Amino acid sequence: MKTEHAPTIQRADYRPLSWTVETVDLHFALDPEATVVTNRMLCVRNPDADAGPIRLWGEDLKRLSLTVDGQAPAALRESGALIEIDAGGDRVVVEVRTRIDPKANTTLSGLYLSNGGFFTQCEAEGFRRITCFPDRPDVMARFTVTLEADRANCPVLLSNGNLIGQGELPDGRHYARWEDPFPKPCYLFALVAADLVALERTVQTMSGREVLLQVWVEEGNLDRCGHAMDSLVHSMRWDEETFGLELDLDRFMIVAVADFNMGAMENKGLNIFNTKFVLAKPDTATDIDYEHVESVVAHEYFHNWTGNRVTCRDWFQLTLKEGLTVFRDQQFSADMLARAAGAEGAASARAVKRIDDVRVLRAAQFPEDAGPMAHPIRPDSYQEINNFYTATVYEKGAEVIRMLHTLLGQEGFRNGMDLYFSYHDGEAVTCDDFVEVMSEANNGFDLDQFMRWYSQAGTPRVKASGEWNAAVGSYTLTLAQYTPATPGQHAKLPLVIPVAVGLIGPDGRDCALRLDGEAQDGATTRVLKLTADEQRFRFVGLAAEPVPSLLRGFSAPVVLELDEDDARLAFRMAHDADPFNRWDAAQRYAERVVLAMAADAAAPVPDAFVAAFRALLGDGALDPAFRAQALALPGEAYLLERMAPAEPLALRAALVRLMRTLGERLAADWLALFDAMQVPGEYRYHPADAGRRALANLALRYLAAAGDGEGLARAQTRFEAASNMTERFGALAALVQSTHPAREAALEAFHARYRDDALVLDKWFALQAGAWRWDDAAAPVLDRVRALLSDPAFSLSNPNKVYALLGTYFRANPGEFHAADGSGHAFWAEQVIALNGRNPQVAARMARALESWRRFTPALQASIRAQLERVLASEGLSPDVAEVVGKALD
Ligand code: 0A1
Ligand code: ZN
């Protein structure tokens, strides 16, 4: 079914514009309901394009005037958001005056109000909601911006670049003038006019320049900015040391805003952040929040080079900046963890980060790649670009960059990056341009076949089998690849897949690897390059049959299909020298057990599994953070993905039973572990402490699931006595995930303590929306979610609240959401329709929760289909939601 809501834009249709913009002078007379924007653009003819009119886009604007060189334009045509103006000569000044209503802007795209302040969000196409402009990333102009506002309400006036003037105006107003020396696309424009205060720090860049760093927040939050500031300084140092990239401005600002659709935005010199990724102090933020602040600050900072200095030619190239920047922030976080862990713990610390990243990929990207929205990391078409800020573009995009890094090596990759900036600084380029410089910097390394990663959707399968020849001591590994068909893309070609391999001997130690015909070099892990449909690799010189350890470190974003029996998984769980694969063996074993239990409600938990689990639990030589990863069951979304058909209720029942059994049978071990993992002294955010807290919290979860009296008592004490949010919230989560009568009182106490703290209340909403039912007689979670919709702290206008309550219920609680009576699905439709009229981007994100409906049982499919159709038929459907629901029903 095609929807008439939005035309489809094709990547192949890209043409340069006939006119671009050299300089922009913007003037904002800020007023909550009637802001007047005056925009003077110096438009220049593009010598590289066909002759044609000046093209501008404008949306939801009241146009007051438009002149070309001071005159009314000779010809002006309008169609939808597009305005075309005929102009002569090569350089003309176009001046547009528009009036906008920030207060009425509930989309949080363009100029909007949050808590009385003015904020902007322009990526991808929000600038056209501010003024008429050639709103495309390949138009890079120099911006000068004057802001005028009421001084009392908005004492702080910020925009990109350097402050070049400020002063008083009549009627209690004031102004500030900013100039950004670097040409940029308009999606990187930003302004902030609000009542804020800043934490400031001055630092020297590697070339010795002094730069001013500021983190701007509301006054009461000044004590929560230190970690963001430290993270910024660490990011700057890392980019200098790792890539030789220095901050290019005299001032770099981060601003926190409570109403924001996404995580944060890399506007040049003026990053705007969701408060969730800036504010952190021990009493309100968990260790995981601290980690997120660090990685999001790094991500946005790294965009200054990968995204801003070199940007995207068009939005199909989004992964050029996002995949690369996610890879950079992942490497940064891994380096930070490794540094904190010291030489001995570095490998394990890096593996913990890798595991985190792969969990996200498997939970969010694999399902996307198997569903109706599947797209290559560089899509070929879209209806609404905002729907393409996806796990595929970001996370799989980062995996593709990681594979390049693996294939070219650290130094080759760095050389490629250097060449990338030397060729393309100040330009808007394509993914092909990037891969081409990587090849050129590495003696013409052939990356032609590698480019298929950019054009093919779907998660590739790598099927592996081994053959042992005892007579000659050789082990032949056969690797075969295939990629399942995805919508609109049936035939798939073989990809270049780096498969990192180790062979484990019967003693549990890695064997030295020697491929037939090659010399021995002592390596115990090596990267095989799978490029054909099927290839064989023959290892020789082996004394006994080895156990293969494949795809070490998750060397490619694929599903590995390898027949391993329980004993072999337990062996690798205990011995694999690659910590990532050791974790993965535990996950595979757990997956097998839980899926068998879901298929057969009477299937017991195998003793051997409990024993393997106990061995990991008690292995004091293993880093606690690693143990916490290895003892956590695979995510529910990932497990559903592995079931055909998906039966969320059966899976939930199996998970409840497995958690209980592991809690009961290992109760003494968990209690001892909990006690051993206590962190004395005052809270500090440090990965070593965080690992201990994570493991202690996990122990409480298993004990609470089992209803263990001692465990629950420990949870209650910890909840009451905790000195920090990680412990307090960990204990609360354990209580909530139990049948303990104290759970409601604990939720209430938590609420009372944090009633005025929006970010902490988000945790409180999410915890209840994500709760499992441990007691068969308990009410459905939907009843609670519905009740919380009317909580005074809840608001459908605040994305964080929507993600916490509705997002958690729709996406992280499948065992409740997919209730057999269809009540969850009907509630979903109701909420998507309500959100659609307010904030289409947020509505579309919620709408995606049901896109994979065809994977479910026939009864669930029928229930979901009816609700998808109800949404599609609803009045005033945004292109955002229409694309998601339309594709789901296609
Ligand atoms: N470029 C930002 C993500 C972002 C995208 C769109 C937004 O509004 C619709 C906001 C932020 C990043 O990668 O961090
Ligand atoms: Zn980004």
Determine whether the shortest distance from the Cβ of 386 to ligand 1 is under 6 A.
yes
The predicted pLDDT at position 6 comes to 78
The CA 265 to ligand 1 mean position distance, Å, reads 5
Q: DSSP class of residue 779?
A: P
Name the residue type at position 472.
Answer: V
Buried (b) or exposed (e) across 680-709, using 16+ Cβ within 10 A? eeebebebbbbbbbbbbbbbbbbbbbbbbe
Calculate the alpha carbon distances from 544 to 474, 486, 504, 511, 578 in Å: 9, 42, 10, 10, 20
The CA 119 to ligand 1 mean position distance, Å, reads 14
The CA 264 to ligand 1 mean position distance, Å, reads 6
Q: Which ligand ends up closest to the CA of 384?
A: 1
Determine whether the shortest distance from the Cβ of 311 to ligand 1 is under 6 A.
no
Question: Ligand 1: which of 123, 320, 329 to mutate, judged by most atoms within 8 Å of the beta carbon?
Answer: 123
Q: Span 787-791, mean pLDDT?
A: 98
The CA 321 to ligand 2 mean position distance, Å, reads 7
Question: Ligand 1: which of 186, 189, 265, 270 to mutate, judged by most atoms within 8 Å of the beta carbon?
Answer: 265
- Give the pair of three-digit tokens for residue 759: 């970010």
φ, ψ for residue 267 (rounded to 5)? -45, 140
The CA 270 to ligand 2 mean position distance, Å, reads 14
**795 SS3 class:** coil
Q: What is the pLDDT of residues 47-59, one digit of tens each?
A: 999 999 999 999 9
Residue showing tokens 């979903």 = 828
Q: Which ligand ends up closest to the CA of 272?
A: 1
Q: Is the peptide bond before 124 cis (omega within 30 degrees of 0)?
A: yes
| Strands in 351-452 per DSSP E | 381-382, 428-429
Percentage above 90 pLDDT, the chain: 99
Q: Which ligand ends up closest to the CA of 302?
A: 2
Whether residue 3 is predicted with pLDDT greater than 70 in this model: the reply is no
Percentage above 70 pLDDT, the chain: 99
Query: pLDDT category, 821, cuts 50, 70, 90?
Result: very high
Determine whether the shortest distance from the Cβ of 329 to ligand 1 is under 6 A.
no
Beta pairing, strands 173-179 & 197-204? unpaired
Whether residue 534 is predicted with pLDDT greater than 70 in this model: the reply is yes
The predicted pLDDT at position 5 comes to 64
Determine whether the shortest distance from the Cβ of 259 to ligand 1 is under 6 A.
no
Determine whether the shortest distance from the Cβ of 605 to ligand 1 is under 6 A.
no
The CA 335 to ligand 2 mean position distance, Å, reads 19
Average confidence score pLDDT of the chain: 98
Closest alpha carbon to 499 in 438, 431, 562, 585: 562
What are the residue numbers of the active site? 300
- Give the pair of three-digit tokens for residue 405: 């890094």
Q: What is the pLDDT of residues 727-755, one digit of tens each?
A: 999 999 999 999 999 999 999 999 999 99
Cα–Cα distance measured from residue 715 to residue 702, given in angstroms and rounded to the nearest whole number: 11
Q: Are 884 and 841 in contact (CB under 8 A)?
A: no
Adjacent-strand bridge partners of 197: 217
Buried (b) or exposed (e) across 750-765, using 16+ Cβ within 10 A? beeebeebbbbbbbbb
Determine whether the shortest distance from the Cβ of 385 to ligand 1 is under 6 A.
no
Q: What is the DSSP string of 547-582?
A: EEEESTT--SSSEEEE---HHHHHHHHHH-SSHHHH
Query: pLDDT category, 4, cuts 50, 70, 90?
Result: low
Burial class for 360, CB neighbours closer than 10 Å (0-12, 13-18, 19+): middle
- Give the pair of three-digit tokens for residue 588: 């595979």
Q: What is the pLDDT of residues 182-240, one digit of tens each?
A: 999 999 999 999 999 999 999 999 999 999 999 999 999 999 999 999 999 999 999 99
Question: Ligand 1: which of 107, 135, 262, 800 to mutate, judged by most atoms within 8 Å of the beta carbon?
Answer: 262
Cα 537 from chain centre: 36
The CA 181 to ligand 1 mean position distance, Å, reads 23
Calculate the alpha carbon distances from 289 to 256, 280, 349, 628, 686 in Å: 15, 7, 18, 17, 12
Q: What is the pLDDT of residues 48-97, one digit of tens each?
A: 999 999 999 999 999 999 999 999 999 999 999 999 999 999 999 999 99
The predicted pLDDT at position 520 comes to 84
- Give the pair of three-digit tokens for residue 376: 């290559």
Q: Span 824-841, mean pLDDT?
A: 98
Q: What is the pLDDT of residues 458-480, one digit of tens each?
A: 999 999 999 999 999 999 999 99
Q: Span 857-880, mean pLDDT?
A: 98
Closest alpha carbon to 159 in 189, 138, 197: 189
The CA 324 to ligand 2 mean position distance, Å, reads 9
Whether residue 285 is predicted with pLDDT greater than 90 in this model: the reply is yes
Cα–Cα distance measured from residue 279 to residue 271, given in angstroms and rounded to the nearest whole number: 14
Closest alpha carbon to 114 in 260, 221, 222: 260
The predicted pLDDT at position 2 comes to 36
Determine whether the shortest distance from the Cβ of 390 to ligand 1 is under 6 A.
no
Cα–Cα distance measured from residue 541 to residue 516, given in angstroms and rounded to the nearest whole number: 9
**850 SS3 class:** helix
Residue showing tokens 């008083």 = 168
Determine whether the shortest distance from the Cβ of 263 to ligand 1 is under 6 A.
yes
- Give the pair of three-digit tokens for residue 147: 């802001």
Whether residue 831 is predicted with pLDDT greater than 50 in this model: the reply is yes
Nearest CA to ligand 1 atom 13: 322
Determine whether the shortest distance from the Cβ of 331 to ligand 1 is under 6 A.
no
Nearest CA to ligand 1 atom 8: 123
Nearest CA to ligand 1 atom 11: 265
For the stretch 10-15, contacts whose Cβ atoms lie closer than 8 Å and that sit 24 or more positions apart, written own/partner, are: 10/380, 10/381, 11/314, 11/316, 11/378, 11/379, 11/380, 11/381, 12/380, 14/313, 14/314, 14/316, 15/49, 15/50
Calculate the alpha carbon distances from 626 to 123, 361, 632, 809 in Å: 37, 18, 10, 28
Determine whether the shortest distance from the Cβ of 261 to ligand 1 is under 6 A.
yes
Determine whether the shortest distance from the Cβ of 304 to ligand 1 is under 6 A.
no
Q: What is the pLDDT of residues 320-335, one digit of tens each?
A: 999 999 999 999 999 9
